[in-house]
Amino acid sequence: MPYDTVNPANGQVEYSLELMDAAAVEQRLAAAAQAFPGWAATPLEQRGALLRKVGAQLREQRDAIQRVMTAEMGKLRKEALAELDKCAAACDYYAEHAAEYLREQAVVTDAQRSYVRYEPLGCVLAVMPWNFPIWQVFRFLAPALMAGNVALLKHASNVPRCADAIRKVLADAGVPDGVFDVLHIDNDQAAEVLRDARVAAVTLTGSERAGRSIAANAGGQLKKCVMELGGSDAFVVLDDADLDATVAAAVKSRFDNAGQTCIAAKRFVVVEAIADEFVRRFVAAAAERRLGDPQDEATTLAPMARQDLRDELHKQVQASVAKGATPLLGCEPERGSHAGYPASILDQVAPGMPAYDEELFGPVAAILRVADEAEAVRVANDTTFGLGGSVWTADRARGERVACQLQCGAAFVNAIVKSDVRLPFGGIKRSGFGRELAEHGIHEFMNIKSVYVA
């Protein structure tokens, strides 16, 4: 059965693709199973050298891959290039640090010798989203390959050529056949692949609904899984915040990538003493974001990735307004744009509204006014999600104290929440479980083995 990918900027069909049949899927599963023993036995230095070549290929092919990213999911050219550079840097990072992270660790016990060693699990199925179509993959792939695992990628249906571009990068770098491949399959087929005995584990970045389905399947098979799901990050503005810096960061965090970022600031929790001034400046700065051709360097707001996603976001906005939220900017689909939604701000957001209770996965900011610091912490934590959060204040010690009270996987003070290959990344509550990146990320898909020699 074929499916089309549609350019979100103009509505034109970019690509038509046939789903793989059972024979094609079996071929790739068999190749992965065959490749695993040899790849796991490949010396770490050789795996690292290949991963550095992967990074070099990403840099060499960045312009071509950027055009595919922009055509398939609408990412601004400059944002796509930055994403590709980040992927290349992650490859270099794990090539450099894997030996440190995977070294045997001696432990003093009653034995003559005892230690902990790390061994790869096997084939990992990666179910990945469209919003960062290259980075989301490499965030998992670089550490997984350095660990000695092999991988199969089931990418989002609207970015199939991004998936193929990743496969080409690895092939051009000389990564052996079967170590990484792409499955152009639907969700039902992915569930069958996960049930296959040759698949050892699964990682998913996506919606809560997708996470529940994949995690239930993995649990039924007693297979390791890592879930990076949605977020509704709080951006806490205290009464002593530097508003110039805070507003600039608020605009960037909410509207980059058309707001389609799990760790984007979505709920702006602002202490009442400075709320009016913050909101005035925020509206003025956000109004400068302009939709347009994502290939044009002058465009400062990308379209949303699909028209149906834009329509769903608008329903959330309308429902919030119907329940009392005040639209201050935007809040109507962009005329003449296939999937465009303008930079939008809702004020007076309260519990019971979608803008308060749900994730707004698009360029809409929700203003939540609070009386003081204590209420700011309470409101920031009043969510089913727990991915990230940030605190903005002139007092670093105060900011750190508040950050440590936020119920989330990453809390930043006077900085936008972002993934950093040097820090573990992941959430709590309904934002998922497990960690990617840093030392923690490479250990997620390994057998942590205790060896005891009496």
State the catalytic residues. Answer: 228, 262
Q: b/e for 5-26, b at 16 or more Cβ within 10 A?
A: bbbbbeeeebbebebbeeeebe
DSSP letter string, 152-221: EEE--TT-HHHHHHHHHHHHHHTPPTTSEEE----HHHHHHHHHSTTEEEEEEES-HHHHHHHHHHHHHT
Classify 145 as helix, strand or coil. helix
Nearest-Å Rg of the Cα atoms of the chain is: 23
H or E element at residue 363: none
Strands 113-120 and 123-127: unpaired
Report the C-alpha gap between 125 and 227 in whole angstroms. 12
Distances (CA, A) of 140 to 88, 91, 119: 13, 11, 17
The position carrying tokens 């809702």 is 346
Token pair 């990484």 in the structure block, residue: 180
Distance CA 418, CA 421 (A): 10
Token pair listed for 371:
């009386």
Question: Which amino acid makes up residue 289?
Answer: R
Q: How far apart are the C-alpha atoms of 170 and 186, rounded to whole Å?
A: 23
Q: Is 230 helix (H, G, I), strand (E, B) or coil?
A: coil
Local structure of residue 301 (DSSP, 8 states)? B
